[in-house]
Amino acid sequence: MESADVPAVLDVQEPAAVAGLADVFPQDRHPFPREVVAARWREEIASPDVECLVALDAGTVVGFAAVRGDELLHLGTALERWGTGTAQEVHDLVVDHMRSRGTRRAWLWVFTDNRRGRRFYARLGWAPTGERSRSTFPPHAELLRLERDLSDPARRR
């Protein structure tokens, strides 16, 4: 991913976040912070410690991910791709990428009230550690840490 990709990534991320995180960030009180998220993407793209990736279909961004070391920072797909298997494809490619770099155990944060996201990750072998944190975005919703063993290369899901 390059800085020039940020608008297209946001065009995918914003509608999906608004729909998928409606219980976490009610839009009437906490609208999607597009400019703040754009600035964060640009910082992450510029960071040598973060790998930012886009998933394309016929040249159109349909998904995105970001990895920092053994942490999966972001993973998302276009709202119209929900239920098509695109998210799992992006997930599997990112996990394979992390594994190829030597990651043996990966982790991520998911919003505690993001039921869809938690089901998705649980189905793919991610398990809660019990560790919790808070989002930097108001209303500072609770985050749950999930981990997954990547040491078995035969286990994609």
Q: What is the pLDDT of residues 97-153, one digit of tens each?
A: 999 999 999 999 999 999 999 999 999 999 999 999 999 999 999 999 999 999 976
3-class secondary-structure state, position 117: helix
Predicted local distance difference test score (pLDDT) of residue 152: 76
pLDDT at 13 over 80: yes
Query: What is the rounded CA–CA span in Å between residue 7 and residue 24?
Result: 23
Task: Give the 3-state DSSP-derived string for 3-65, with helices as H, strands as E and coil as C.
Answer: HHHHHHHHHHHHHHHHHHCCCCCCCCCCCCCHHHHHHHHHHHHHCCCEEEEEEEECCEEEEEE
DSSP annotation of 146: E
Average pLDDT across the chain, whole number: 96
pTM value surpassing 0.95: no
3-class secondary-structure state, position 128: strand
| Phi and psi angles of residue 14, each rounded to the nearest 5 degrees, phi first | -60, -55
As a whole-number percent, the residues of the chain with pLDDT over 90 amount to 96
Per-residue confidence band for 50, with pLDDT thresholds at 50, 70 and 90: very high
Predicted local distance difference test score (pLDDT) of residue 156: 55
Which domains are delineated in the chain?
A: 3-149 (3.40.630.30)
**What average pLDDT does the segment 84-103 reach?**
96
| Closest C-alpha among 104, 17, 123 to residue 64 | 17
